[in-house]
A and B are shown apart, each in its own frame.
Chain A
Amino acid sequence: MKRHRPPKWLDRFLKWYCDPELLEEFQGDVRELYFERLENEGKFRADIKYAYDILRFYQWNNIRKPGRHRKPNRLEILIYSGFKMAVRNAGRNRLSFLAKTLTISICVVFSLILFAYAIQEYSYDQFIPNSNLVFRVGTEVEVNGAITKYAVSPTALASAISELPTIEYATRFSCLSSLHHYEANGQTYYQEKGIITDSKFPEIFGCKFLRGSGELLDEPDNIVLTLSTAVKFFGIENPVGKTVTLNNGFWMDVVGIIEDPPGASHLKYDMLLSRSSFDVPARWQDLDAYTYCKLKKESDIHHISSSITQILTDHENEITQDVKFARGQVFGFRPILQNITGIHLHDFLNEDVAVKRDIKHLHFIVLLASLFYLSAIISFLNISMSDLTANFKQLGILQVFSGSSGGASNSFLANTLFKILLILPIAAILLQIGLNLTGPYLGITIEESVYTSKYFFILVASLITLLILSSKIGSFLVVKSVAVLDVLKGNFNIHYGGVRLRELLLTVQLSFSVLMISLTLVILDQFEFISKTDKGFEDRNTLVIKIPVVALGSSTLLESLEELAGVKMASPSSFDTDVQWKEVFEVKLENGVRSGIFNYQMWGEGFGDLMNIEMVMGRGFTGNSANDKSVCLVNQTAVEEFGWKNPIGKIITSDLGETRVTGVVKDFKTVSIHNKIEPMIILADRGWSEYLYVKLEPIHSTNLIYQIEKTFNDHHAGAPFSWNYLDAKLFNWYHEDYQIRGIMNIGFIVSIIISCLVVFSISSQWFMLRTKEMSIRKVVGAGATDLFVRHVSKFLKFTAIAILIAFPLVYYLSNYWLQNFAYRINLEVSYFLVPGLLTFLITILVSGFHGIHNSKINVSEVLKES
């Protein structure tokens, strides 16, 4: 007999809409009724009534609510259980878990800060619209084969190149140094940086106008202020239409307000002044304009370069017309075209005003950041695997539960997600703390815009992806190599892939430590070398005061200062620790004449004595300005360079006049030891020197600086008293090196902590896995020392491999960093041996903890338990 059933589609409909909590009872009831009706009333009526019952039940209260009663799938259940397992594990070893999480977080944060800094440095000037089309035109000057590179170009070049068909427009500008003063609203200001330019400047540099426009910069007596300068000068008033006075001689009308240039701009300025207000003619002989141009789209830069070379060659005679001894000399002028986004990282050019960063330093920072980034991932994987292998039994049960290795793998993933969820907020807090500390301690300041940039987002996303990916690989290796039956029986076989991988990771981690220790040692020694290197002058107790433009050449201040008790002597000089002054000189050699661009300085009377620069031959300046203008001094390198047997009496000529060498000074450093000492010609001060050097007695009154400031103000009322100690100024020579040293010091500590942690975690695992083996060894006669050595020696093997891996890297990176210095330490064996020994020591100490436990093992208890 055919057995009837209720229509399936009605069942499916009921199942689809009905709340799962009500489904079973209701379906059961309607079926019970159906079969009764089937018997009593026939199939047709039973079906109709069945449908009616089901349709009647279709009410709001009975229907399924989306998401409320979804059954979690197997993966979700496993992840949830894995998550619970991770939380339980963390809770069981709270201290160790906290230490591990913190260490990885520090590692992650440190690498993120360094990467963010690198992103910022690489993205300089990228805010400029169509930055790929904007170029700066510098000049390469060749005099008799010797090349000097300048950031500046002839003032007439901009208008000449703007006529080229491939150039959209070009502009030039000159900078007003902070020595100039401005008056606005009855107040005087000194520190502002002004740029003398035209209306094309805002277009090329993408200045955003908040008020007014840049077109008026083509008309005389107009000025555009940055927002911060406008607020400084005029407060909350609308500054447009108001007047700013420059050096008491120029009255400029404010015609616009622009946003401040972004932090990642190679050019810093506070205001733009219209060029037609000043007498700055476009002449070929004035090589002192910063020229920028914007190319038309799809222009060929090589073609433009050759066009500009042609322009410069065509005007060569005009460029050299003011050089007195140009006749007979071979000159060559070529453009240096630099894309605006590359200026920040390009080598320093003469007379460059751009904010610079040594690209080698930046590469070094990126490399360190990458090492920390990798180290974070390796440590993460290592520690996660150690957690998982410590829970072998759960692993086995999970494998059985899920019927495949997928379950354990998911549990591992849950473990990873749990750690990431913990690490991310800790890292965010540490990032905030780190950013507050890196400013004052490492000189690293990062703009907020970097954190919202796509590069930083990619970095963080890739970090999270790599952490998850590494955990998947780790779980695959651990899970695939564990035999479930063995695990559940309690037989731990230590020859499985997880341990192998962890040993490999341990080796990499130890290599990283060796590398960091070695590099830190090299860097510390190089700094020791820098501090001990003879600069050729005495920088202690020396004050450097900047002289305002209005006071240049005035000797009254100098006399008043020398009368103060505690002041040994004072002298003006153009010796600028940040800038090298260069000029075209013609030098009479033993046989013949040599022309070229050489460094020069101007010294006031007694400056050599003030700085304790040794005279090795002849005499210095006499103090008689008429006589001194016709004489000069040179350094020892110049004597060698010019091949003079007897330098005294030799003639050196320049636009500043003809001078005769009367003395030779010992070589002294005018730049950091990154560069070699170059020939130096020293002329007597002509009243143009921007600095006043003041030598103080070693023991002087504490308020001497105050007295000097008071004397300064008495002579130049209202002028800013801008001063610094010479030794502090010299610190700038190594500013970037100090940054690297700071980063290395932190890296050194973090890398050692991580290595200790990894060694400790693997050591504890080995200890756990080999307890029975060690007990048996003890029973058959092995001594405590033997067990200790057996445990520790395994680590020594990996340490030795790590050291061998690290050595080539140490050699390459140390050389890479040291190549930056013209004068440097030699790489000795000790830079390899000491870090190697130190790493051995750390490994022995950390693994020794379990080694001692091994030697003290309670045999009877272990064997009883098993």
Chain B
Amino acid sequence: MAAKGKYLGEFEELILLTVASLEDEAYGVSVKKFIDNETGRSVNISAVHQGLKRLQKKGMVESHVGGATKVRGGRRKRFFKITNIGKQILQEIIDFKMELYRKVSDFALKTP
């Protein structure tokens, strides 16, 4: 499990996974759309920003400012990229979940 301070909430984990998936194209709107599409739940752009900010503070993502685009009224995008720490944490979470999953018997997972 991740150490204290590196704890990831469910939504943060979702955002981190999204950033990792989008590779170089992860920014506020793209993350929101990806989650919307992949999970079917509608998330607010403000919540995405909060999540990205928290992940950056924890050192799991890093950001850089891209070029200006017309559609945004000349405002630049901030692109996010997963860091090594982020990758490591994500891996740990997946391993942990897999381990737990393996401990569950086949019988228990069968639907009646």
Contacts and interface: CB of A to CB of B under 8 A. Distances in A.
B50 A59 contact: yes
B40 interface: no
B28 A56 contact: no
Interface string A22-36: 101111111111010
Nearest to B47: A56
A32 B68 CA distance: 12
Interface in A33-78: 33, 35, 52-53, 56-57, 59, 61-62
B77 A28 contact: yes
Contacts of B47: 56
Interface string B73-85: 1011110000000
Given A29-B72, A62-B49, 20 more contacts: A22-B49, A25-B49, A25-B75, A25-B76, A25-B77, A28-B73, A28-B77, A29-B28, A29-B45, A29-B49, A30-B45, A31-B73, A31-B75, A32-B29, A33-B29, A33-B32, A52-B44, A53-B45, A57-B45, A61-B50
Nearest to A23: B75
A24 B46 contact: no
B45 A27 contact: no
Contact of B72 (A22, A31, A61, A62): A31
A28 B76 contact: yes
B73 A53 contact: no
A31 B76 CA distance: 11
Contacts of A31: 71-73, 75
Contacts of A35: 71
B97 interface: no
Interface size class of B (residues with CB under 8 A): 20 to 34
Interface residues of A, number: 19
A26 B71 contact: no
29 contacts: A24-B75, A25-B28, A25-B49, A25-B65, A25-B78, A26-B28, A26-B49, A27-B75, A28-B28, A28-B72, A28-B76, A29-B32, A29-B45, A29-B72, A29-B77, A31-B71, A31-B73, A33-B32, A33-B45, A35-B71, A52-B44, A53-B44, A53-B46, A56-B47, A57-B46, A59-B46, A59-B50, A61-B50, A61-B53
Question: Which are the 4 A-B pairs with shortest beta-carbon distances?
Answer: A28-B75, A29-B28, A56-B46, A28-B72
A53 B47 CA distance: 9
Interface in A803-840: none
For B29, B46, B71, B78, the residue with the greatest tally of chain A CB atoms inside 10 Å of its CB is B46
Contact of B29 (A24, A29, A56): A29
Contacts of B72: 27-29, 31-32
Given A25-B28, A26-B28, A29-B27, A57 B75 contact: no
Interface of B: 27-29, 32, 44-47, 49-50, 53, 65, 69, 71-73, 75-78
B9 to A, nearest CB: 15
A22 B75 CA distance: 12
Nearest to A29: B28
Nearest to B48: A29
A35 B72 CA distance: 9
- The residue among A27, A32, A56, A61 with the most chain B CB atoms within 10 A of its own CB is A32
A22 B47 CA distance: 14
A26 B47 CA distance: 11
Contacts, number: 63
A219 to B, nearest CB: 84
Contacts of A26: 28, 45, 49
B28 to A, nearest CB: 4
Contact of A57 (B29, B49, B71): B49
Contacts of A22: 49, 53
Contacts of B71: 31-32, 35
A29 B45 CA distance: 8
Contacts of A59: 46, 50
Nearest to A57: B46
Nearest to A28: B75
Nearest to B75: A28
Contacts of B75: 24-25, 27-28, 31
Nearest to B57: A61
Given A25-B75, A25-B77, A27-B75, A56 B27 contact: no
Contacts of B28: 25-26, 28-29
Contacts of B65: 25
Contacts of B46: 53, 56-57, 59
Contacts of A32: 29, 71-72
A197 to B, nearest CB: 80
**Which of B32, B47, B78: most chain A Cβ within 10 A?**
B78
A710 to B, nearest CB: 88
A283 B105 CA distance: 128
A501 B73 CA distance: 55
Contact of A56 (B44, B53, B73, B77): B44
Contacts of B73: 27-28, 31
Nearest to A11: B73
A31 B29 CA distance: 10
Interface string A5-32: 0000000000000000010111111111
Interface string A744-769: 00000000000000000000000000
A619 B58 CA distance: 113
A33 B32 CA distance: 10
A62 B51 CA distance: 12
Contacts of B69: 28
A56 B76 CA distance: 21
A33 B48 CA distance: 13
A702 to B, nearest CB: 85
Nearest to A52: B44
Contacts of A25: 27-28, 49, 65, 75-78
Nearest to B63: A25
Contacts of A52: 44
B35 to A, nearest CB: 13
A208 to B, nearest CB: 64
B52 to A, nearest CB: 9
A685 B44 CA distance: 114
A212 B73 CA distance: 85
A35 B70 CA distance: 11
A27 B50 CA distance: 14
A29 B30 CA distance: 9
Contacts of B77: 25, 28-29
Nearest to A54: B46
Contacts of A56: 44-47
A29 to B, nearest CB: 4
A781 to B, nearest CB: 66
A57 B51 CA distance: 12
A268 to B, nearest CB: 73
B103 to A, nearest CB: 38
A419 to B, nearest CB: 41
Contacts of B32: 29, 33
- Among A27, A29, A31: residue with most chain B CB under 10 A: A29
A854 B77 CA distance: 63
A32 B29 CA distance: 8
A25 B72 CA distance: 9
Contacts of B29: 29, 32-33
B18 to A, nearest CB: 15
Nearest to B54: A61
A35 B49 CA distance: 19
A447 to B, nearest CB: 60
Nearest to A56: B46
A27 B71 CA distance: 12
A246 B108 CA distance: 115
A12 to B, nearest CB: 14
A177 B49 CA distance: 90
A32 B32 CA distance: 12
B47 to A, nearest CB: 7
